[in-house]
């Protein structure tokens, strides 16, 4: 059963189109990973989905309710963990969670139980009476999550929740996403980190310049590029002539070079590695490291757009 239906949605800022006739469906029980580089339109889509930004064209429905016509019914079903922290530094952690849970209508004993549960869930019970000003970046992110889940929403949306945090908090957040899903919530998780989206998602949509350029399970997406692999070489003394010669090699499908980091797409199992090494050595390029990467989401993105996700 579908929980979210986005149909032909368009958003423009001034003359520029940020979300371009986007259509996608998210089913109940999924962890849907929305992957795309910076500026792809992920946050804009999420804001429209939550009713925080007007839709220019098209329609979004959550649990059957139109975001335009029934915004309150939609908001009640959603817990949003926004990209920019939405917590009050002057309130304690507990007061923050309490505040957001009250906005969703919780009162009395149930309110206190749910606040306890949310704080426990993100591992902040011990420090619930402190103000978040004293917290690390990762703890603030976890508090941000607690504020979004205390009302037990059907749909939890996390917009780049691991940007700029320590590995321990990152792992904690990724594990909480899985656990929230096991407890029954459908999750939309946006990120420009391929590894995170790969590790978490049951289905993945790849967004670029406001378009959904690919969608499917991890296996579906990998199968689209199973005939390619990538070589990543860190080099010194790279020259334009070497790049040019590599580009004209018949078996090199694509190539990007930034500050000596060379990424080359070649047919799988027939990697013309010797040729690449020969050309580089001919041009006196020093090879500092070389990695062979099996087809992955980055390969797919590169194959569809000619750019890397990090561009």
Ligand X SMILES: Nc1ncnc2c1ncn2[C@@H]1O[C@H](COP(=O)(O)OP(=O)(O)OP(=O)(O)O)[C@@H](O)[C@H]1O
Could you tell me the smallest distance in angstroms from the CB atom of residue 19 to ligand X? 7
The span from the CA of 239 to the CA of 161, in Å, is 39
The span from the CA of 236 to the CA of 48, in Å, is 46
Could you tell me the smallest distance in angstroms from the CB atom of residue 26 to ligand X? 17
Could you tell me the smallest distance in angstroms from the CB atom of residue 13 to ligand X? 3
Phi/psi for 14 (5° steps) reads: 60, -130
Does 40 sit near ligand X (CB under 6 A)?
A: yes
Does 13 sit near ligand X (CB under 6 A)?
A: yes
Fill in the DSSP letter of residue 32: E
Does 160 sit near ligand X (CB under 6 A)?
A: yes
Stretch that binds ligand X, among 31-39, 92-100, 170-178, 271-279 (CB under 6 A): 31-39
Does 161 sit near ligand X (CB under 6 A)?
A: no
Build a one-symbol-per-residue string for 118-157: x at contacts with ligand X by CB under 6 A, - elsewhere: ----------------------------------------
If the CB atoms of residues 13 and 278 are measured against ligand X, the closer one turns out to be 13
Please say whether the beta carbons of 21 and 134 come within 8 A. Answer: no
Residue 234 CA: distances (Å) to CA of 190, 238, 311? 29, 10, 17
Does 197 sit near ligand X (CB under 6 A)?
A: no
26 has which bridge partners?
4
Q: How far apart are the first and last CA of the chain?
A: 36
Contacts of 139 (CB under 8 A, 6+ apart): 124, 127, 132, 169
Could you tell me the smallest distance in angstroms from the CB atom of residue 229 to ligand X? 27
Strands, E, within the chain: which ranges? 2-13, 16-27, 31-35, 57-62, 65-66, 78-81, 155-159, 186-191, 203-208, 211-216, 228-236, 254-258, 261-267, 286-293
Does 38 sit near ligand X (CB under 6 A)?
A: yes
Could you tell me the smallest distance in angstroms from the CB atom of residue 34 to ligand X? 8
Fill in the DSSP letter of residue 285: P
Could you tell me the smallest distance in angstroms from the CB atom of residue 82 to ligand X? 11
Stretch that binds ligand X, among 22-30, 32-40, 177-185, 193-201 (CB under 6 A): 32-40
Fill in the DSSP letter of residue 233: E
Does 18 sit near ligand X (CB under 6 A)?
A: yes
Stretch that binds ligand X, among 42-50, 214-222, 236-244, 275-283 (CB under 6 A): 42-50
The span from the CA of 247 to the CA of 39, in Å, is 28
Stretch that binds ligand X, among 25-33, 36-44, 69-77, 283-291 (CB under 6 A): 36-44
Q: What is the dihedral of CA 168, 173, 178, 184, to 10 degrees?
A: 150
- Please select the residue that binds ligand X; options are 39, 105, 267, 306, rule is CB under 6 A: 39
Stretch that binds ligand X, among 41-49, 91-99, 242-250, 253-261 (CB under 6 A): 41-49
**Size, binding site for ligand X by CB under 6 A:** 12
Does 208 sit near ligand X (CB under 6 A)?
A: no
Stretch that binds ligand X, among 33-41, 174-182, 257-265, 281-289 (CB under 6 A): 33-41
The span from the CA of 136 to the CA of 160, in Å, is 17
- Please select the residue that binds ligand X; options are 33, 41, 51, 205, rule is CB under 6 A: 41
Could you tell me the smallest distance in angstroms from the CB atom of residue 85 to ligand X? 14
The span from the CA of 297 to the CA of 200, in Å, is 13
Residue with tokens 């289905």: 203
Does 43 sit near ligand X (CB under 6 A)?
A: yes
Report the interface residues with ligand X, using CB under 6 A.
Answer: 13, 18, 36, 38-44, 160, 192
């Amino acid at each position: 059963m579908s929980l979210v239906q986005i149909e032909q949605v368009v958003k423009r800022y001034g003359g520029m189109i940020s979300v371009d006739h986007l259509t996608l469906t998210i089913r109940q029980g999924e962890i849907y990973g929305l992957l795309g580089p910076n500026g792809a339109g992920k946050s804009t889509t999420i804001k429209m989905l939550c009713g925080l930004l007007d839709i220019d064209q098209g329609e979004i429905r959550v649990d059957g309710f139109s975001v335009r016509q029934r915004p309150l019914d939609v908001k009640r079903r959603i817990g949003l963990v926004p990209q920019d922290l939405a917590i009050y530094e002057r309130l304690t952690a507990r007061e923050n969670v309490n505040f957001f849970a009250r906005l969703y209508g919780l009162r009395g004993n149930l309110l206190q139980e749910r606040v306890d549960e949310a704080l426990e869930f993100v591992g902040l019970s011990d420090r619930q009476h402190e103000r978040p000003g004293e917290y690390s970046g990762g703890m603030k992110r976890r508090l941000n999550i607690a504020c979004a889940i205390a009302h037990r929403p059907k749909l939890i949306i996390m917009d780049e929740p691991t940007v700029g945090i320590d590995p321990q908090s990152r792992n904690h957040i990724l594990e909480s996403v899985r656990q929230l899903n096991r407890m029954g919530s459908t999750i939309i998780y946006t990120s420009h980190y391929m590894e995170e989206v790969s590790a978490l998602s049951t289905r993945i949509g790849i967004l670029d310049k406001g378009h959904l350029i690919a969608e499917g399970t991890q296996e579906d997406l990998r199968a689209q590029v199973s005939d390619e692999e990538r070589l990543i070489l860190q080099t010194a003394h790279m020259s334009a002539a070497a790049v040019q010669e590599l580009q004209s090699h018949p078996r090199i499908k694509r190539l990007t070079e930034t500050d000596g980091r060379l990424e080359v797409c070649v047919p799988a199992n027939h990697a013309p590695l010797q040729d690449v090494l020969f050309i580089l050595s001919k041009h006196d390029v020093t090879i500092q490291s070389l990695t062979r990467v099996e087809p992955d989401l980055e390969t797919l993105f590169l194959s569809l757009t000619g750019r890397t996700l990090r561009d």
